[in-house]
Amino acid sequence: MRKGWWIVLDELNLAPSDVLEALNRLLDDNRELFVPELQETIAPHPHFALFATQNPPGVTYGGRKTLSKAFRNRFMEIHVGDIPDDELRIILNKRCAVAPSYAAKIVEVMRELQRRRRASRAFAGKDGFVTARDLFRWANRNADGYDALAADGFKTLGERLRSDEERDALKETLVTILKAKKEALDPARLYASAEEKSLTARLREATALALETANASERESEKNPKSERVADAARAARRAAQDASALSVAMAWTPAARRLFALVESCLAHKEPALLVGETGCGKTSVCQLLALLRGQRLRVLNCHQHTETGDFLGGFRPARAVRRNARDDSDDPGTDVPFAWEDGPLVRAMRDGDILLVDELSLAEDSVLERLNSVLESGRALTLPEKGGSEVEELVAHPDFRILATMNPGGDFGKKELSPALRNRFCEIWIGASASEAEMAQICARRVPEGPLQAYAKKLAEFWSFYRAAAGRGAARGALLTRDLVAWAQFMRAAAEGEGPGRSEGRGAPSGRSAAAGCSRRLSPEEAYAHGAYLTLLDGLGLGLGLPEETAKRIAAECRAFLRAQLPEKVRHRFFFLSSKCVFRRSAFFRYFSVSRGSLSPAPNANATSAMMFRCTW
């Protein structure tokens, strides 16, 4: 206002009404702003101008409210419609530097998809397939040839679709209009960059380089023992290298994992923010960790929740000691002590340092908080920080290597919501469907159990998972046994039978990466570990938190016990108390340091079952 600059208030109808009403005097003819905290009235510069933007109010756009008539009357209101085809072709040609023929074909694909949306309920919803931002993202991939243009179009428009009918319709449209070969949209060609042998070799090289970098950081910290910052960076580099090394060994490169890796890697290569949408345990975070390892970048993770605030992204003022203001290195003036100092949040630090920011569970945060990311997700990748204060408002432009990724579960998953269209179409969205392949599950489990007697149980784990999905049907009960639960089951078997944890390296708690089971007085046999793992991960808590009727939970549990019994070798089926009426624990101590002599007292009717649950959990 004082300097005559122009101001744009983006997403105006997300701000609280009392904040907006404070602008009334500025929008009136007298054009002045009263600041009660300073008891000062500010008159704007003659060249000052105020603009505002908003999406239509309603549920569709994340609960944006309708502004009051008294406030809207102070603006000259303009409705912005769709961009005409001729103008859109010119914009694509000039902004994205694509050939005019490519721009015309891209616009033609958009209009055909919109026509299909009107003709069929399968494509219902405003902008059901494509928006102008999607076209810019598609054109910016700089395809060479119509086959490559069709492949890029499917990656940007089709990989977010959640039904096979919509995906097939998009493929048909691309082949028809672009005159592309059908083979160009074959999964084997689309995800050829994520071939398993190539990935394994790349990860091996990246792991070696990360460990070498961590060693160099530790040597640097030894030279500067008083520098806490250098020491913290060395420890963080060591932890990141160890975690990435363990993950690269345990990762099972199923077709779904290779597809996800190829798509996210393509987004990072083109500086596109990517949104990964899928059920819990489908590998979203793991793929992001491995990509950060391959690119040699630090991965900063921010976990969102219902109480996430803007300060969790940007930072804020924190209590500070020995921080001096107005002190200069070339001056004898020590400055003045300040009780609080600004500390950058993970988003700001990642933008400054060129790191990758992973926003986990993005949809749990409030819309008013998430919309603060809008400017970062645009092509300019800039962020204004008025929260920091000072005489000049800082405008931060992201480092060239900065990337942003986000993950979320589908809307309706335990109260989680879908994002507003205004935010989600700023991302390149990738849908990860739930795996229905028993072979893929067997491949995942095989990477979590060692060679030897336990290896045969990887297939049994996948068979049990397939049986449970059929027994649970399509209701809420399916959520009780997901991929993450199978991985936990396999890790329990390894810990109970081998005395090993999930493969952590030395220096991370227990020596040589061994789990708490290293103190166990005897190991479980493979069949014992398998049976107890079934109860630990599923049967001990089946029905809790899922809203299942008691009779349904009992029926599913009885069917699972019968199937589990049939999977075990016949000579050992009678040994387990949960498959008959006898307890496997009796007087033998399972843990050297966590055991109590039972004596000659007879246990209570449910004591055996309760003791078994406790022992399984403490393993």
CATH number at residue 400: 3.40.50.300
The answer on 573 and 455 residing in a single domain is yes
Contact 481, 538 (CB under 8 A): yes
**307 in a structural domain:** yes
φ and ψ at 407, to 5 degrees?
-130, 155
Total tally of structural domains belonging to the chain: 4
Contact 321, 231 (CB under 8 A): no
The answer on 487 and 351 residing in a single domain is no
Q: 126, 158, 190: which is the final residue of a domain? A: 190
Q: What is the signed CA dihedral for 113, 118, 121, 125, rounded to 10 degrees?
A: 80
**243 in a structural domain:** no
The answer on 158 and 47 residing in a single domain is no
The answer on 137 and 12 residing in a single domain is no
The answer on 452 and 557 residing in a single domain is yes
Measure the CA–CA gap between 80 and 426, rounded to whole angstroms: 18
Say if strands 324-325 and 336-337 run parallel, antiparallel, or are unpaired.
antiparallel
Measure the CA–CA gap between 28 and 73, rounded to whole angstroms: 10
Backbone Cα Rg of the chain = 29
* Confidence at residue 617, expressed as pLDDT on a 0 to 100 scale: 60
The answer on 89 and 62 residing in a single domain is no
Which 8-state DSSP code applies to residue 328? Answer: -
The answer on 465 and 412 residing in a single domain is no
The answer on 417 and 449 residing in a single domain is no
**571 in a structural domain:** yes
The DSSP annotation for 165-221 comes to HHHHHHHHHHHHHH---GGGG-HHHHTGGG-HHHHHHHHHHHHHHHHHHHHHHHHHH
In the chain, what is the greatest distance between 2 CA atoms, to the nearest angstrom? 94
The answer on 476 and 414 residing in a single domain is no
Instruction: Report helix, strand or coil for 424.
Output: helix
Q: Find the length of the chain.
A: 619
How many helices and strands in the chain, by DSSP H and E?
24, 15
User: Could you tell me the residue range of the domain that residue 62 belongs to?
Assistant: 6-72
Q: 143, 174, 190: which is the final residue of a domain? A: 190
* Confidence at residue 517, expressed as pLDDT on a 0 to 100 scale: 47
The answer on 481 and 544 residing in a single domain is yes
**546 in a structural domain:** yes
**489 in a structural domain:** yes
**404 in a structural domain:** yes
* Confidence at residue 588, expressed as pLDDT on a 0 to 100 scale: 37
**111 in a structural domain:** yes
Q: How far is CA 326 from CA 323, 329, 338, 391, in A?
A: 10, 10, 10, 13
**260 in a structural domain:** no
The answer on 151 and 67 residing in a single domain is no
* Confidence at residue 606, expressed as pLDDT on a 0 to 100 scale: 58
The answer on 500 and 360 residing in a single domain is no
Give 10-residue mean pLDDT values along the chain (619 residues): 89 83 84 84 90 80 77 89 90 92 93 76 52 91 92 92 86 92 90 87 87 80 70 75 79 89 94 91 88 90 91 88 49 59 92 94 87 89 86 88 93 69 87 83 85 85 92 81 88 79 39 45 78 86 78 89 88 60 38 48 58 60
Q: 163, 190, 217: which is the final residue of a domain? A: 190
